[in-house]
Each structure stands twice: as structure tokens, then as C-alpha cells.
């Protein structure tokens, strides 16, 4: 059987209209197809490009995932006694191609945490610093350990934290860094290195 060909005059558009006379499907002279309504049961899409900036995705859609199994391993451990210690920019984990208005969710796991308090007691706080390519940094605390009086180091399991950061308008990249704050007289420690890997996973989520 021969093919059924529907073809407009040269320079014209091929249109299928609804009962009210409005275009339901329109095909341009270059083959671009426009659907006026909802395409139902279109089957399996096996080719194409869904990265066009005009496509609207729902809030909560994951835009990108960035990760490193050895994040923060190059700059050594963090120690603080009554102050704050933070990774250098060079030892941070950089996430690029960001869009302002979205959210970053950064998860860091691993690294031995240790405290010691003598003669005082207090908290040690573990968190992340988000440093954008423009504007001010934001610190988010996510975990704390209450250190009682001890003359020896008290070791705990690895750190496991997740922090959320709203990406400001105009920001296209962010450096994620660990930060550690301890109360006066309290020793806090967050290790890193080949013996205590600290993997980092960052999700950019549409908001």
C-alpha cells in the first residue's frame, strides 16, 4: 500500500484544528510541530533534547548532582578550641552551573569527630559553609555533640550531615566547605584524609 501524504502548498503551514477552528496541531515549513493542548499517551520517547531552557519542570525536580568521594581530603583536619575552624577555599568542593532561586542540598558523611573538655563542658557544632561566587557566605550548622568533662579524647562515629542553601540571584557557582565551632574551653576535631574519607554529594533542586 502507498503512503498517505498530507502536504500544504509551498510556504504554507500544515494545521489540524479543533471544532472551534483553533489550531490543535501546527507544523511549520521547517517541520517544527506545535501542540496547543495536552499530548496524552504519546508512547515511549526514544530520542530528542529535553534540556531546552523553555521547558517547565515542577518544583523539587533535581537539576543536577555533583559528588566527590574524596572531598576535603587535601587540606587536613579541622580543630577548634573555643573558636571556629573552616576549610580553605582550595580544600572546598565547588559546584558550578547553578541557577539563582534554586536550592542546594549538600550531604557530607565520614571523618572522625573527637572532643575533649577539661575543666569546662559545652557543645561542638558541625556544619557547612556555602561560599558563592558573588555575595556573602552562609554558614549552616547541622550536628552538635555535648562534651562532658574528660581528660582524654572522646572519639565518636563519623560525621553525617545534610544542609540546605537557597541559591541567591546571580550566583552561578558555590564552594561547599566544612566548618567546626566549639564552646570556650572545649576541644573539637573533624578529621579528613586517606584514612577518614569525607564524601560529599550536592543536589541542585528546582524551587
pLDDT averaged over consecutive 10-residue blocks of the chain (207 residues)?
A: 81 83 85 80 78 80 92 82 93 95 94 79 92 97 83 75 97 96 89 76 95
Is 166 inside a domain boundary? yes
Examine the domain organization and report whether 146 and 111 are in the same domain.
Answer: yes
Predicted pLDDT at 27: 84
Predicted pLDDT at 170: 96
Examine the domain organization and report whether 120 and 190 are in the same domain.
Answer: yes
Give me the DSSP letters along the chain. Answer: -PPP---PPTTPPEEEE-TTS-EEEEE-TT--EEESS---------S-----TT----TT-EEEEEEETTTTTTS--EEEESSEEE--GGGSEEE-S--TT-EEEEEEEEEEEEEEESS--EEEEEEEEEEESSS--EEEEEEEEEEPB-SS-EEEEEEEEEEEEEPPTT---EEEEEEEEE-TTEEEEE--BTTB---EEEEEE--
Predicted pLDDT at 114: 81
Predicted pLDDT at 107: 96
Predicted pLDDT at 122: 87
Examine the domain organization and report whether 35 and 134 are in the same domain.
Answer: no
Examine the domain organization and report whether 30 and 113 are in the same domain.
Answer: no
Predicted pLDDT at 1: 61
Under a CB-based contact definition with an 8 Å cutoff, are residues 154 and 206 in contact? no
Where in the sequence is the domain holding 20, given as residue range(s)?
A: 10-41
How many helices (H) does the chain have, and how many strands (E)?
A: 0, 14
Task: Provide, for the chain, the percentages of residues in helix, strand and coil under a 3-state DSSP scheme, each rounded to the nearest 5.
Answer: 0, 50, 50
Is 55 inside a domain boundary? no
Examine the domain organization and report whether 112 and 181 are in the same domain.
Answer: yes
3-state secondary structure of 5: coil
Alpha-carbon distance 192 to 172, whole Å? 28
Predicted pLDDT at 194: 61
Is 151 inside a domain boundary? yes
Predicted pLDDT at 205: 97
Examine the domain organization and report whether 88 and 185 are in the same domain.
Answer: yes
Examine the domain organization and report whether 83 and 37 are in the same domain.
Answer: no
Alpha-carbon distance 149 to 52, whole Å? 58
Contacts of 76 (CB under 8 A, 6+ apart): 91, 192, 193
Is 156 inside a domain boundary? yes
**Nearest alpha-carbon partner for 70 in 98, 105, 108, 125:** 108
Is 48 inside a domain boundary? no
- Report the CATH number that the domain containing residue 129 is assigned in CATH: 2.60.120
Examine the domain organization and report whether 96 and 191 are in the same domain.
Answer: yes
Counted domains in the chain: 2
Examine the domain organization and report whether 156 and 196 are in the same domain.
Answer: yes
Examine the domain organization and report whether 66 and 37 are in the same domain.
Answer: no
Predicted pLDDT at 145: 85
Predicted pLDDT at 72: 84
Is 83 inside a domain boundary? yes
C-alpha distance across the termini of the chain, in Å: 52
Predicted pLDDT at 193: 64
Predicted pLDDT at 2: 79
Examine the domain organization and report whether 103 and 156 are in the same domain.
Answer: yes
Alpha-carbon distance 186 to 146, whole Å? 10
Examine the domain organization and report whether 103 and 162 are in the same domain.
Answer: yes
Is 36 inside a domain boundary? yes
Amino acid at each position: 500500500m502507498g503512503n498517505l501524504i498530507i502536504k500544504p502548498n509551498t510556504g504554507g503551514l500544515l494545521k489540524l484544528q479543533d471544532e472551534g477552528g483553533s489550531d490543535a496541531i501546527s507544523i511549520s515549513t521547517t517541520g517544527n510541530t506545535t501542540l496547543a493542548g495536552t499530548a496524552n499517551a504519546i508512547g515511549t520517547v526514544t530520542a530528542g533534547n529535553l534540556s531546552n531552557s523553555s521547558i517547565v519542570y515542577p518544583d523539587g525536580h533535581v537539576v543536577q548532582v555533583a559528588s566527590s568521594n574524596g572531598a576535603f581530603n587535601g587540606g587536613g583536619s579541622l580543630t577548634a578550641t573555643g573558636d571556629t575552624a573552616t576549610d580553605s577555599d582550595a580544600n572546598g568542593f565547588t559546584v558550578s552551573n547553578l541557577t539563582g532561586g534554586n536550592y542546594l542540598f549538600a550531604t557530607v558523611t565520614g571523618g572522625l569527630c573527637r572532643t575533649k573538655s577539661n575543666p569546662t563542658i559545652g557543645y561542638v557544632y558541625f556544619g557547612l559553609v556555602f561560599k558563592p561566587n558573588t555575595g556573602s557566605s552562609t554558614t549552616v550548622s547541622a550536628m552538635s555533640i555535648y562534651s562532658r568533662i574528660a581528660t582524654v579524647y572522646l572519639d565518636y562515629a563519623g560525621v553525617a550531615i545534610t544542609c540546605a542553601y537557597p541559591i541567591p540571584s546571580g550566583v552561578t557557582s558555590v564552594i561547599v566547605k566544612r566548618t567546626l565551632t566549639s564552646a570556650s574551653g572545649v576541644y573539637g576535631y573533624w578529621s579528613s584524609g586517606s584514612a577518614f574519607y569525607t564524601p560529599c554529594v550536592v543536589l541542585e533542586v528546582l524551587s
